[in-house]
Structure 1
Amino acid sequence: MRPSSRMVLLKSYANHYFTFYTNFNSRKGHELQENPNACMLFYWPRVHRQVRIEGKVTKVPNEDAVAYWNSRPLASRIGSKSSEQSKVVPNREFLLNKQKALEELAEKDGPDSITKPDLWHVSPIISIYTNHTHYFLNQLMCGFALKPDYFEFWQGQSNRLHDRIEFRESDGQWIIQRLSP
């Protein structure tokens, strides 16, 4: 499998897990299902620092994905529903037309109307009740939690003799080592 990288929004860090949400049917969604090993990178160019984090991901409970979906602004939910992420489309107008149709539906029938099961690209796999409103969620939105077992801290230096420190978990203990740049 070829390496793959994609920017995602880190939604939370809690209980030693980094959590992010994504489209389950996207390239990254499929890749994380096949290979749970993942890497995150945080980079701050102004201060010449980065942190690399590696570990395995697990899928978060569906209820968390539904709660995240419902917490998103309507425009973001419409944007997600307008796109079958990573699929080839004929042109940008195709996406804009889908977006407009969903905006009109939400305006006419309310924001929850865009989550009706007949609008999903794939048949619904779960349904739950929240505040007496029936929400359907298929594999469009899911969350992954990364449990780190490796950190590398990098501090850039003008002479290119950068500082690199790694923290590697081994048998429940963290081993700290300095690396050559």
Structure 2
Amino acid sequence: MSFKGNYIYIILLAVIFFFSCQEKKQTDQEENKQEVLESKETVANASANFLAIVYRNVLNEITDINLTIKKEGTFIYYQAPLSKTPEGEYKTTTLSGTWTKNENWIVLKFEDQQVKATTIFTITTGQEGNFKVIDDTTVQIDSDQEDISILGIRCIKSII
């Protein structure tokens, strides 16, 4: 076989390889779309049958945060600093209240009038639409979002 024959053979193999990769890419994209649809369906089913929705902080060196929204219409907010106060104590905060659903919003109503919702729910960049502080004791959380900012710390949603 001459050099010209080898060259044509190499080009032919490259073309075949290219088209086979394109077919695999389309198949992978279709499989990914199907996985996303199945995942959304699973989340929708889980949301309808949940026992609790829990927002828990990502790893940080400041505080441990847990907001548990229970199916029966109550919630508990728990916060514990990871370091002691100047007096040498760990000062935890536990608040509770009731919640209702309004379209895709979970509306939290804190029972404790001493703690303002604006001190707990602070807007950080990229989280502007994830929740709305209505007044000192009421907050709306967008239930479609996967995370919210509590005390400026990112908290991830999980459904139990």
Bigger Rg, structure 1 or 2: 2
Structure 2 length-normalised TM: 0.29
The structure whose RCO (Cα within 8 Å, separation 6+) is larger is 1
Structure 1 length-normalised TM: 0.26
